[in-house]
Amino acid sequence: MTDFERYATENGFSLRLGRWDFVYTEDQKQMTLPVEMLMQGEFLWEFSRSSIRTWDSPHDGEHVAEDTAARIAERIARFVELTGKRVRIY
């Protein structure tokens, strides 16, 4: 098991990194976050923290609280760092 897989498992989530989106999953809920792949600089991807606001269907009526959004953003940043890459969250 890699460091990033261990980190995700220990914290109860999974994350799939894609060119156009990240798919974050925890507690049977999934969230698809649009990302932009960057061509230069120190960051490989970037995405807006404001996109962390609702879960995908069938939980799309459930609003994500500010503290939960902050936790998700922190987990994503750490996970990506453990893969040897970086993501800019603005």
Model pLDDT for residues 26-52, shown as the tens digit of each residue: 999 999 999 999 988 899 999 999 999
pTM above 0.85, yes or no: yes
Phi/psi at 39 (5° precision): -95, -15
Q: Any idea where the domains of the chain sit in the sequence?
A: 1-40+47-56+76-84
Q: For 45-85, how does the pLDDT look when each residue is reduced to its tens digit (9 = 90+)?
A: 999 999 999 999 999 999 999 999 999 999 999 999 999 99
In this structure, are strands 87-89 and 45-47 parallel, antiparallel, or unpaired? parallel
